[in-house]
């Protein structure tokens, strides 16, 4: 809930109370420098004992509700035919409106099955924007590529456009003409677009995409990993939806695609995922592969406990105080940084506050991994673990050439119901200091580079030993205890 202060500012007031806590530590800057050097300037390689605020991701790190814990404990553990699965299937029907559902161990497992079954030889999968694992699974088939048809506004980091996640309908029609429907595996809409800064698409745009798919006999897939947030934005920003409930908006969104999938690690606050549909034939094409790659039909690679908690999480994610809990903290975070002149992606999206690294450190060359450097620098000066979402997160082209990312973002994710506004104030203060000292940040170079999803395991080094120089400047201002 946003609470309006007398001076006109809005602050998020959380509609929950914290009853279980975990202690966290802030190690000093010199120890953080050592930790990031050992991690190869890759925040994925840090150990949590060295992390103060873990804002790497909003995935699998959210706080479950008391009722989810109750669902977790009261599960029916069975290899086959567990009643917990059937209760979960009822929740899918109630919240999303689908008759057929299969669990998978996480979102990328759904992408694996969809790519395996629906990608076409010498074909493409069309999307409003790729996600790292989606693109990897499409390309790993060896037969298809990922084609992104975002609007021009999508890459404008300073914008007031409410729906930067929209698909460009003219580009969609042109692509269908170019490739022909027989080469297009499916059209995929991602709600909200993770790598564009958590930006949503509108219901109007989604319906237009559906219309074009119908006219051309194309399969439409919805990646609903962040569907609550997308629905919340439709509620807040799209004309005609202001008087609907989040539950109604989610139901309407789910009535549009042929196939729905999600990573349960986000909106449902557990781990796992699922694929759902009302199309029996499509379901039958996917079903035989489930026990091959995931597990038996009534658990699909998930533990029954997670499925029990997921059923409750699904019902809770339509509550505006759950759907909007991260969005409101992000809005506060982004608007404050913006008012201080620190380059952030606007309008605020779902899942994270995104720093526009190209504008923050304009002196770093694109070959030297701009957002990777900024993300490491933020860790050194604050102990905050953010994530590089830029060129390191793109793998190279098949011929080995570097594919430069459309956007160079440092993503400071907001796990749901985990951190408070005072934590966010701390990050804002440290970012301000870093912005004033941004000339000290230089680029990175790879010292170990894996061939696929290199951002997970890759190791890099700081050009000109800039980490040491940044640490010395920080210690001069804050002493050696911070």
Ligand X SMILES: Cc1ncc(COP(=O)(O)O)c(C=O)c1O
Site track 215-254 with ligand X (rule: CB under 6 A), x = hit: --------x-xx----------------------------
Judge whether 266 counts as a catalytic residue: yes
Judge whether 44 counts as a catalytic residue: no
CA angle 306, 309, 312 (to 5 degrees): 150
Report residue 64: phi and psi, to 5°.
Answer: -75, 155
Strands 444-448 and 352-356: unpaired
Which residue from 328, 286, 352, 407 is spatially nearest to 58, judged by alpha carbons?
A: 352
Q: Which is nearer to ligand X, 273 or 300 (CB)?
A: 273
Among 68, 82, 263, 329, binds ligand X (CB under 6 A): 263
Judge whether 88 counts as a catalytic residue: no
For the CB of residue 110, give the shortest distance to ligand X in the complex, in Å. Answer: 8
Q: Which is nearer to ligand X, 29 or 286 (CB)?
A: 286
Q: Is 131 in the site for ligand X (CB under 6 A)?
A: yes
For the CB of residue 108, give the shortest distance to ligand X in the complex, in Å. Answer: 3
Among 120, 130, 210, 265, binds ligand X (CB under 6 A): 265
Which listed residue (79, 86, 404, 456) is catalytic?
A: 79
Distances (CA, A) of 58 to 32, 198, 271, 364, 413: 22, 11, 11, 28, 6
Which listed residue (118, 201, 206, 455) is catalytic?
A: 455
Considering only residues 41-100, where is the footprint of ligand X by CB under 6 A? 59
Considering only residues 165-204, where is the footprint of ligand X by CB under 6 A? 190, 194
Among 133, 157, 371, 375, binds ligand X (CB under 6 A): 133
Judge whether 132 counts as a catalytic residue: yes
Q: Which is nearer to ligand X, 300 or 467 (CB)?
A: 300
CB 407 within 8 A of CB 389: yes
DSSP 309: H
For the CB of residue 351, give the shortest distance to ligand X in the complex, in Å. Answer: 7
Task: Locate 179 and state its tokens.
Answer: 């490739």
Tokens 């989606």 sit at which residue? 134
Which listed residue (32, 120, 188, 266) is catalytic?
A: 266
Which listed residue (41, 100, 131, 241) is catalytic?
A: 131
Helix (H, G, I), strand (E, B) or coil at 121: coil
Report residue 3: phi and psi, to 5°.
Answer: -110, 125
Distances (CA, A) of 330 to 224, 325, 337, 412: 20, 9, 11, 9
Which DSSP helix (H) or strand (E) runs through 116? helix 107-118
Q: Which is nearer to ligand X, 371 or 382 (CB)?
A: 371
Task: Locate 170 and state its tokens.
Answer: 């003219």
For the CB of residue 194, give the shortest distance to ligand X in the complex, in Å. Answer: 4
Q: Which is nearer to ligand X, 263 or 298 (CB)?
A: 263
Q: How many residues belong to the site for ligand X (CB under 6 A)?
A: 14
Site track 96-125 with ligand X (rule: CB under 6 A), x = hit: ----------xxx-----------------
Query: Which residue number is nearest to ligand X in terms of Cβ?
Result: 107
Helix (H, G, I), strand (E, B) or coil at 417: coil
Strands 384-385 and 53-54: parallel
For the CB of residue 167, give the shortest distance to ligand X in the complex, in Å. Answer: 15
Report residue 403: phi and psi, to 5°.
Answer: -105, 110
Measured between alpha carbons, how far is 182 from 407 in angstroms, rounded to an integer?
32
Which listed residue (30, 116, 132, 459) is catalytic?
A: 132
For the CB of residue 228, give the shortest distance to ligand X in the complex, in Å. Answer: 13
Measured between alpha carbons, how far is 84 from 96 in angstroms, rounded to an integer?
18
CA angle 283, 276, 212 (to 5 degrees): 85
Measured between alpha carbons, how far is 174 from 310 in angstroms, rounded to an integer?
40
What is the binding site for ligand X (CB under 6 A)?
Answer: 59, 106-108, 131, 133, 190, 194, 223, 225-226, 263, 265, 273
Which residues form the catalytic set?
79, 131-132, 223, 266, 389, 455
């Amino acid at each position: 809930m946003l609470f309006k202060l007398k001076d006109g500012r809005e602050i998020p007031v959380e509609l929950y109370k914290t009853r279980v806590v975990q202690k966290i530590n802030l190690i000093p800057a010199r120890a953080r420098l050592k930790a990031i050097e050992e991690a190869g300037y890759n925040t994925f390689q840090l150990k949590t004992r060295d992390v103060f605020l873990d804002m790497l991701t909003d995935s699998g790190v959210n706080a479950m509700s008391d009722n989810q814990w109750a669902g977790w404990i009261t599960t029916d553990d069975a290899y086959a035919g567990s009643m917990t699965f059937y209760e979960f299937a009822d929740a899918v029907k109630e919240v999303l409106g689908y008759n057929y559902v299969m669990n998978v161990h996480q979102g990328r497992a759904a992408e694996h099955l969809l790519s395996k079954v629906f990608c076409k030889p010498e074909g493409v999968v069309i999307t409003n924007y790729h996600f790292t694992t989606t693109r990897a699974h499409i390309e790993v088939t060896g037969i298809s590529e990922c084609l992104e048809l975002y609007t021009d506004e999508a890459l404008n980091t300073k914008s007031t456009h409410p729906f930067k996640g929209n698909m460009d309908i003219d580009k969609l029609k042109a692509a269908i003409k170019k490739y022909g429907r027989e080469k297009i595996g499916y059209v995929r809409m991602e709600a909200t677009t993770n790598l564009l800064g958590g930006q949503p698409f509108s219901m109007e745009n989604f319906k237009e995409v559906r219309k074009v798919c119908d006219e051309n006999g194309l399969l439409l897939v919805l990646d609903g990993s962040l569907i609550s947030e997308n629905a919340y934005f439709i509620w807040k920003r799209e004309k005609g939806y202001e008087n609907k409930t989040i539950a109604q908006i989610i139901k309407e969104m789910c009535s549009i695609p042929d196939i729905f999938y999600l990573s349960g690690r986000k909106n449902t606050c557990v781990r796992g995922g699922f694929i759902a549909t009302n199309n029996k034939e499509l379901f039958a094409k996917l079903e035989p592969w489930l026990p091959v790659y995931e597990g038996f039909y009534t658990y699909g690679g998930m533990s029954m406990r997670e499925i029990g908690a997921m059923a409750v999480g699904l019902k809770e994610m339509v509550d505006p105080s759950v759907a909007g809990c991260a969005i409101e903290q992000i809005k506060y975070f982004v608007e404050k940084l913006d008012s201080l002149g620190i380059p952030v992606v606007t309008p605020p999206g779902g899942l994270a506050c995104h720093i526009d690294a190209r504008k923050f450190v304009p002196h770093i060359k694109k070959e030297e991994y701009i957002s990777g450097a900024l993300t490491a620098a933020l860790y050194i000066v604050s102990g905050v673990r953010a994530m590089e979402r830029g060129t390191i997160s793109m793998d190279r082209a098949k011929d080995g050439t570097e594919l430069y990312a459309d956007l160079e973002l440092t993503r400071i994710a907001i796990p749901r119901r985990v951190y408070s506004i005072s934590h966010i104030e701390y990050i804002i203060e440290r970012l301000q200091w870093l912005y004033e000292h941004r000339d000290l940040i230089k680029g990175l170079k790879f010292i170990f580079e894996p061939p696929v999803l290199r951002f997970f395991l890759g190791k890099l080094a700081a050009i000109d030993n800039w980490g040491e120089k940044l640490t010395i400047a920080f210690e001069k201002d804050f002493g050696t205890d911070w």
